[in-house]
């Protein structure tokens, strides 16, 4: 009977699927991130056939070696897979999969939750009201900015970036400009979107900049001090992709000194830590990496990771096999 290790408690859907296939599923008894050493200890000598892992698990050559030669697949419950050394996995013939598609709508929704929260100062206003500071309606109280009719700059027009663009155009009559390594002329025609040949060209024109690229060597600190200065002083930056894409210390400086008006972040450079000074700022909205965290979507991600494992253990190519970009 194939044996599968699950590195942390996840929604039942995936576990049920694996068990229905007759697989033995061992879930880590600790409901917390396992440090690399602990993960190695949990895997070593256990002869697992597959591992269902999370974006908080570091999967490198040492961990793959600890899992052993019979382990065919590490199935990440995330669309991103920058926590996994794909070269090390390929060298050991271990398949790596992710969970794209099922979280697209949820992450796009969260992107708008953040965008609107920042522009309408929702969290700041909530703090203000709870603190008993509301003394009655006032014409100049907590003025924010509209999203409707503005220019939304999408950096990375993949599944999630395209869905954000769709909502921006259909829901808010916004103009969409985008940068991606690949131009998508069909998308441009359908949504009236305008392609910018570089991030530097996009930034000065956008009222909202939303980041949707994977974390790669080429995207680390893509939003650095210099690029933040290219944004309009009235603009907002939203990041629901990966924290290290934004130089967080530079962002704190930019928010403090009025280089940009506001920001909203679901991801951080050194999770779970925040850059010094970030939490003290009023003009930033912070959520703890929950953009895909709805009951529906986390169940679907759990089930899709299980599908990937089931396919791999049946000798098929899993539906969401990933390769080094
Ligand atoms: C979440 O960050 C994911 O990559 O799914």
In a domain, 320, yes or no: no
Residues 216, 132, single domain; the answer is yes
pLDDT for 226-248, tens place per residue? 999 999 999 999 999 999 999 99
Whole-angstrom distance, CA of residue 19 vs CA of residue 138? 59
Q: What mean pLDDT, rounded, does the chain reach?
A: 98
Q: Tell whether 323 is covered by a domain.
A: no
The residue whose CA is least distant from atom 5 of ligand 1 is: 78
Task: Please tell me if the CB atom of residue 55 comes closer than 6 angstroms to any atom of ligand 1.
Answer: yes
Residue 265: give the domain boundaries.
104-286
The answer, yes or no, to whether any atom of ligand 1 lies below 6 A from the CB of 292, is: yes
**Does the structure show a pLDDT above 70 at 25?**
yes
Strands of the sheet with 50-53, listed across from one edge: 24-27, 3-6, 50-53, 73-76, 95-97
Distance (Å) from CA 77 to ligand 1 centroid:
8
> Residue with the nearest Cα to atom 1 of ligand 1?
78
> Which ligand 1 atom sits closest to the C-alpha of 99?
5
- Among candidate residues 123, 185, 121, 119, the one with its CA nearest the CA of residue 150: 119
Q: List 314's β-bridge partners, or say none.
A: none
Instruction: Provide mean pLDDT across the span 109-120.
Output: 98
Examine the pLDDT at 136 and tell me if it is beyond 80.
yes
Q: What is the total count of domains within the chain?
A: 2
Active-site amino acid positions: 242, 271, 289
Indicate whether 131 and 151 sit together in one domain.
Answer: yes
Preceding amide of 244 cis, omega within 30: no
Which CATH number covers residue 45? 3.40.50.720
Residue 80 Cβ contacting ligand 1 at under 6 Å: yes
Judgement on whether residues 179 and 242 belong to the same structural domain of the protein: yes
71 occurs within a structural domain: yes
In a domain, 325, yes or no: no
Say if ligand 1 is within 6 A of residue 215 CB: no
The string of pLDDT tens digits covering residues 27-69 is 999 999 999 999 999 999 999 999 999 999 999 999 999 999 9
- The answer to whether position 324 is within a domain reads no
């Amino acid at each position: 009977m194939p044996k599968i290790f699950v590195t942390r408690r996840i929604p039942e859907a995936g576990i049920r699927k694996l068990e229905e296939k007759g697989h033995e599923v061992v879930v880590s008894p600790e409901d917390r991130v396992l440090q690399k050493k602990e993960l190695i200890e949990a895997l070593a000598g256990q002869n697992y056939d597959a591992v269902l892992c999370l974006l908080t698990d570091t999967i490198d050559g040492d961990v793959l070696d600890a899992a052993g030669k019979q382990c065919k697949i590490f199935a990440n419950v995330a669309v991103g897979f920058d926590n996994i050394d794909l070269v090390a996995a390929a060298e050991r013939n271990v398949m790596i999969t992710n969970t794209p598609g099922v979280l697209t709508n949820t992450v796009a929704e969260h992107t708008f939750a953040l965008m609107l929260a920042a522009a309408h100062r929702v969290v700041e206003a909530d703090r203000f009201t709870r603190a008993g500071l509301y003394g009655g309606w006032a014409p100049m109280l907590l003025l924010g900015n509209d999203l409707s009719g503005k220019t939304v700059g999408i950096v990375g027009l993949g599944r999630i970036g395209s869905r954000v663009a769709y909502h921006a155009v259909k829901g808010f009559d916004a103009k969409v400009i985008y940068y991606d390594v690949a131009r998508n002329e069909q998308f441009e025609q359908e949504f009236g979107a305008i392609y910018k040949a570089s991030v530097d060209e996009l930034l000065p024109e956008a009222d909202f900049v939303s980041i949707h690229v994977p974390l790669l060597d080429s995207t680390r600190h893509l939003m650095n001090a210099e690029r933040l200065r290219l944004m309009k002083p009235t603009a907002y930056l939203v990041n629901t992709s990966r924290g290290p894409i934004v130089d967080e210390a530079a962002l704190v400086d930019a928010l403090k000194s009025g280089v940009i008006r506001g920001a909203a972040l679901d991801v951080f450079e050194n999770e779970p830590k925040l850059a010094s000074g970030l939490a003290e700022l009023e003009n930033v909205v912070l959520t703890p990496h929950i953009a895909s965290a709805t009951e529906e979507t986390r169940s679907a991600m759990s089930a899709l990771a299980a599908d990937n494992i089931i396919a791999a253990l049946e000798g098929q190519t899993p539906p969401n096999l990933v390769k080094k970009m």
